[in-house]
Structures are given as structure tokens and as C-alpha cells.
Amino acid sequence: METLQFLLHGFAVSLAPMNLLWAAVGVTIGTAVGVLPGISPSLTVALLLPVTAALEPTGAFIMFGGIYYGAMYGGSTTSILLNTPGESGSIVTAIDGHAMARQGRGAQALATAAIGSFVAGTIATLALTFVAPAMVSFALMFGPAEYFALMILAFVTVTAVLGEALSRGMASLLLGLALGLIGIDMQTGAARLTLGVPELLDGIDVVVVAVGLFAIGETLFQASRHRYEKEEIYAIKGSIWMSREDWRRSWKPWLRGTAIGFPIGALPAGGSEIPTFLSYLVEKRLSKHPEEFGHGAIEAVAGPEAANNASAAGVLAPLLALGLPTSATAAIMLAAFQQYGLQPGPLLFENNPELVWGMIASLYIGNVFLLLLNLPLAGVWVKLLLIPRPWLYGGILAFATLGTYSLNNNIVDLVLLWLIGLGGFGMRVMNIPVAPCIVGLILGPMAEQQFRRALAISQGDLSVFYNPMTHPLSFSLLAAAIGFLIVPLLIRRRRG
């Protein structure tokens, strides 16, 4: 089968010694940076972008894949040991994972997370291998109208399917869209919202926004709270290996988590909250020890962790096949592709198969490295958590400004970082989700382009978007978007 051929070729690329090295390096720094509290996987990927900038594309993306998976693993380490989930996907892990840590069973929690991530990652990457090309053939049916409708669906799912108030999710999205407006309009060359500042003609880089919101915003928030919060780290006591019982209770949650995580991650539904929460509920329902949930049940870590990793792999499907980012991290990876002048999508599979398949193949390898690296090194990562907060945040800001400045060697980027950081602080305090802003920033301009292109082709005929006869795909996507928007509101109305 053609796909397998491509995959084998991809393995040939990724097993080249240099590329193996990049995979190993990527996984290591991804984990190390992801472990640091306050640094979510999206931020890790954003911060390490300049590091990959110096490499040629294949190596860079292999390293990127490693960083991505590594950062996810690092993030679970922090949520288990410090009860500070770096991002929404780790919230659920923190519940029982941290409870286990408090009982001195932190090592087992980390182990089940690591092995579960490996199992989920491998199976999910396998699924990705087959789903991505299938999506590509599906994508070939997409015209501008369909792409626009798909992006609208992505906007809706990233804002509406949150536990938070819709008004705040929307605010975040709209702010992201507004930021995306800044710069030269592609179609007509008009300079929008640049306020006469020439550096803004190219628009605001996604990395500046991500680092500003996540790193600066989080640091400011922690600065405001450090007087009130004590650092508590739980030492790992006793054996670091999982017992028979632990294995027995973990393996099915691993598989179920993967099955839940991958499809949801692959759909243009934003966020890793859904698969992880769903996995938690499923495991609780099916468990023989439901009373332990919330107090350190190992299934409650095994399932959601697997779901989180599987959905991370799933997110790569629409990203690579359609060029559609469905999470903040994916948006940053898209920016990385664009930095090299590459546009993910069917054309990329056509024109640069070694790059895409090399990256996919190295994900398998990265997974193996992760497992080998992290099981024995759990103790070492824990030491990283002992870095005193003052130095940790000093370092985070140093690295954040480095990454931002080196994008364009321009002070204006640092000014933007400052302003956006301040905004991020406000968002953190007001509990406004950040992901919609990033997705809005990067998808907004793309959606606008597709909208205008569609109308240019249809010569002003709006029905090209919703006519079920001529454009059933676009119609269904928009209908789904409206559904996602209205249904939760109706449900809430009925309850309240």
C-alpha cells in the first residue's frame, strides 16, 4: 500500500544518524522545558522555535516533533508532582496524580503516565499514518468555501466547548482575530491597523503572542501570587517501579484513553479538555474501585494521560493534511512551517513527502526515546522542580525575551511582548481562556482569505457557503458550527 511505502521511506530518513540525534535532542529539551512549572507544552514549543530555526527543514521538524511529545510528558510530570497543570490537558491528571504523589506514590504515577503516553503515542501515530492521507484525499474536495466553513467550525469548537462562560471565550477569540488583522492585507496591499509603525506591516508573529500570553502573563500572575502560595514538592519514596497490581489496573485505561483521545484530537474540535475529562469519566464508570477516584486511583492517571497523548497525535492529522491548527500548540507549529515557506496540506504531501513522512516516522522513534529517557530519569526531572522560584522565573523571562527578540532582531517585538504579556496577566486573573486567542490570530487571516477567494470565484454570490445543493460540505460544516454554538446554550438554559 502506498502509505506504507511512504512510511518506510520516512523511517529511512528519520533513522539517519543526524536525524536520530535531533529526535533525541528534541525529546530531551522538550521534556526538560516542559517539566518546568509555568511552561505549558504550547509555550515550550514557542520558546524552542528559534532553536530549530537554525536547522534545515527536515531536521528542524523532526526535532519539533520530539519537542512536542517531550513537552507533553514534561507537563504531566509537573502536574503530578506539583499540582500545577501547565495546560488544560493535564488538569485531570493532576487530580489523582498529585494525590498519588502525596501518598509517596509519585514514581508510580509518573511511570503509568510515561508508559501510557508511549502506548498511546505509538498507536495514535500509527492511526495518524493512515488518517492523514485519508484526510488529504478528503481535503482535495475542499474549495475555498469549504475551508472557510471548516475554520468557522474550528473557531466555534475552540470557544464554545469550554467549561467557561461563552462570553469570555468569544472575547479571547475576537481579540485574537483583531490582532490577526494587523498588517498588510494580502489581497489589496492595504496596511491595516499598523498605526504608522513599519515593523507592524508584517503583522504580529504568533510566537510573540504565545510567549507573551503564556510566559509573561503567567510570570506576572505568579509574581502577584507568590506571597500567598507555598511551594510544596513531594519526595518520591520507596520503590520507583510499578507493581503488578498497578500494571493490571493501567493497561486497559491506556487503550481506552487512546481510543478516546485520537479521534477527538483529529476532529476540528479545539482543546484537550474533552478527551481527558471523558477518559476520567469512563474510567470511573468502569473501575472496580470508583471510591478511590480523587484520592489516587491509578486508572485516573493512566487513562487521561493516554487520552492526552493520543489527542496530541490526533491534532497533527488536520494540521499536516489540511493545514488546519486545532490547538494553540498546533498553531505555533503551523507558524514554524510557514517560517520555512512551507504550507501544510495536500500540496505538502505531494511536494515534500520526505519531510512529512520523515516527521511522522520520527514521532515513533521519539516515543521510544521518551520512554527510555523518562522512566529512569524521573528522579532527575524531579530535581529540576527544586529550582527556586525566583531563578526559575528569571530564567523563563530571559529565555522568553531571547526567543522573541531573535525572531526579527527588533525591539518592537519586545514592546509587543510587554503589552501582550500585560494582557495575558489580565486574562489569567479574569479566567479568560488563551487558546481561542491564538487560534483566532492564526486562523483569522486564513479564514478571511478563503472567504474573499470564495466570493471572488462565485462573483459575489453568498449562497456558495450555504447552498446544500451545490455545496453540501460547506453547508454541513456551517450547520455543525451553529449546532455546537447553540446546543450547549440550550442545555444550560434548561438546567438553570
Partner 1 sequence: MDSSAKFRLGKVTLGLLLIAIGSFVSVETLLLSDPTQQSTIGPKFFPLLIALGLGINGCVLLWEAFKDVFSEEEWPELDMAPVAIVLVALILQMLLLEAAGWIIATTLLFAIVAQAFGSRRVLVDLAIGLVLSTASFYLFNEGLGLSLPGGFIADYFDGV
Binding stretches for partner 1 (CB under 8 A) = 50-51, 53-54, 165, 167-168, 170-171, 174-175, 177-178, 181, 185, 187-190, 192-193, 195, 216, 219-220, 222-228, 388-391, 393-395, 397-399, 401-402, 405-406, 409, 411, 414-415, 417-418, 421-422, 425-426, 429-432, 444, 448, 451-452, 455-456, 459-460
CA-CA distance, 45 to 64, in Å (whole number)?
7
- 264 within 8 A of 279, measured Cβ to Cβ: no
Q: Shortest approach of partner 1 to residue 202 CB, angstroms?
A: 16
CA dihedral 300, 164, 317, 130 (to 10 degrees): 40
Closest CB to partner 1 among residues 12, 193: 193
CA-CA distance, 32 to 156, in Å (whole number)?
34
Q: Shortest approach of partner 1 to residue 195 CB, angstroms?
A: 8
Closest CB to partner 1 among residues 96, 205: 205
In three-state secondary structure terms, 340 is coil
Please, what sign has the CA dihedral across residues 377, 379, 380, 386? positive
Eight-state DSSP code of residue 289: -
Q: Taking the CB of residue 459, how many other CB atoms lie within 10 A of it?
A: 7
In three-state secondary structure terms, 192 is strand
User: Pairing mode, if any, of strands 191-192 and 183-184?
Assistant: antiparallel
Closest CB to partner 1 among residues 227, 288: 227
Residues with Cβ < 8 Å from 261, sequence gap 6 or more?
120, 124, 275, 276, 279, 306, 307, 308, 309, 310, 311, 312, 314
Q: Shortest approach of partner 1 to residue 401 CB, angstroms?
A: 6
Q: Taking the CB of residue 197, how many other CB atoms lie within 10 A of it?
A: 13
Of 271, 268, 321, 307, which Cα lies nearest the Cα of 480? 268
Q: Shortest approach of partner 1 to residue 294 CB, angstroms?
A: 21
Closest CB to partner 1 among residues 97, 421: 421
Return the amino acid letter for 231: E
Closest CB to partner 1 among residues 262, 451: 451
Q: Shortest approach of partner 1 to residue 413 CB, angstroms?
A: 10
Closest CB to partner 1 among residues 88, 172: 172
In three-state secondary structure terms, 183 is strand
Closest CB to partner 1 among residues 347, 489: 489
**DSSP of 194-239:** -TT-GGGGG---HHHHHIIIIIIHHHHHHHHHTTT-----PPP-S-
Q: Shortest approach of partner 1 to residue 288 CB, angstroms?
A: 35
Q: Shortest approach of partner 1 to residue 165 CB, angstroms?
A: 6
Dig out the grid coordinates for 191 from the structure. Answer: 496596511
φ/ψ region of 37 (left if φ > 0, alpha if ψ in -120 to 50, else beta) reads beta
Closest CB to partner 1 among residues 69, 155: 155
Q: Shortest approach of partner 1 to residue 51 CB, angstroms?
A: 7
Closest CB to partner 1 among residues 384, 397: 397
CA-CA distance, 447 to 146, in Å (whole number)?
10
Q: Shortest approach of partner 1 to residue 372 CB, angstroms?
A: 26
Closest CB to partner 1 among residues 88, 287: 88
Q: Shortest approach of partner 1 to residue 445 CB, angstroms?
A: 9
